[in-house]
Amino acid sequence: MEAFEYRPNPAHIIFGSGSVAKTGHQLKQHGLSKPLILSTPEQVSQAEALSATLTEDVKVVGIFSEATMHTPLHITEKALQYAQEREPDCLISIGGGSTIGLGKAVSVRNGLFHIVIPTTYAGSEVTPVVGETVDGKKTTRSDPKILPSLVIYDIDLTMTLPVGMSVTSGINAIAHAAEALYAQSGNPITNLFAQEGIRALARSLPELLHDKSSVSARSDAQYGAWLCGTCLGSVGMSLHHKLCHTLGGSFNLPHSETHTIVLPHALAYNAPKVPGAMKMLADALPESNGDAIVGLNKLLAKTNAPRSLKAFGMKESDIDKAADIAVGNAYWNPRAIERDLIREVIRRAWAGEDARIDL
């Protein structure tokens, strides 16, 4: 076995149906009583419902409900000003990646204790990374201080998540684990997490199409998302995540849908250089017949996942610009980054083609 380093994710995890009811008790245990709750405009009702469940000795100082995708700096600055005026002693982010990203961007700046209650399968809640957008350009920042202090997984809050959003959020989670399998800083522990997380999501997402209220499928999906997110928080990412940050931040494309569409193409590009990782991925995907790309294409088809960036407003004329941005900053990837080939990867994702290993 090759030498490796493994640094466990230090976040406190509470998992299970009804777990959100433990929020008030957790606040007390940490000596906190003045939370500021963050959400998107669409999820303000969940933020209000959470506020109503907290005990009388906890005073919610406000609900900031302007979180939006890609964590634009001007929204973070607005939230920081809101917090400064209300003087909370902690933050509670309830929602998906947009809200969690805002919570992380705020907490790393003002040092507040950060509790996250995820309602999607984004996985951001267990990573020390935040992606922020300034003037249409998205950059990532990594710091142990970004990692939320407490994560409360309650499947009850995911039961009404639309099936389409469940699928793209779940494939987004699979992307975290798939890239972890060939990460430069990968190790046997994250490989185990990655395979188990992918299996759980590949098992649960098709089931949700038949029964979106399946408790077992929702529980499996949330469990898988936690494991996959932990992989993202433990090792570095490569081409797939770099492409998605470029496309999302520069062309305002939706986060989980972009990850879903790009994933098979990015993996197909790297596949020739990482046969061991592709075998582990194939073993975790049903109906792969030993071919990870085949297995992923089948999973996307079975779950009616979106396949085309064009359908979300990306123009064909944006492909060259995206390729230029994607190769503009050097980063580690198992296969050398070649601009013309990366352009073709982006073009295939734009057109909605099946992924294939022929570049």
With beta carbons less than 8 A apart as the criterion, state whether 193 and 254 touch.
no
Give the CATH number of domain 163-351.
Answer: 1.20.1090.10
Of the two residues 58 and 10, the one the predictor is more confident about is 58
In this prediction, residues 93-100 reach a mean pLDDT of: 96
Task: Quote the mean pLDDT of the chain.
Answer: 95
- What pLDDT is recorded for position 139? 84
- What pLDDT is recorded for position 200? 98
pLDDT digits (tens, 9 = 90+) for 260-311: 999 999 999 999 999 999 999 999 999 999 999 999 999 999 999 999 999 9
- What pLDDT is recorded for position 122? 87
- What pLDDT is recorded for position 32? 97
Domain boundary assignment for the chain: 12-158, 163-351
Confidence of residue 201 (pLDDT cuts 50, 70, 90): very high
Evaluate if residue 171 carries a pLDDT over 90.
Answer: yes
- The fold of the 12-158 domain, in CATH, is Rossmann fold (3.40.50)
H or E segment at 79? helix 73-86
Instruction: Give pTM, 2 decimals.
Output: 0.92
DSSP code at position 303: T
Confidence of residue 1 (pLDDT cuts 50, 70, 90): low
pLDDT digits (tens, 9 = 90+) for 314-336: 999 999 999 999 998 888 999 99
Evaluate if residue 49 carries a pLDDT over 70.
Answer: yes
pLDDT digits (tens, 9 = 90+) for 226-261: 999 999 989 988 999 999 988 988 999 999 999 999
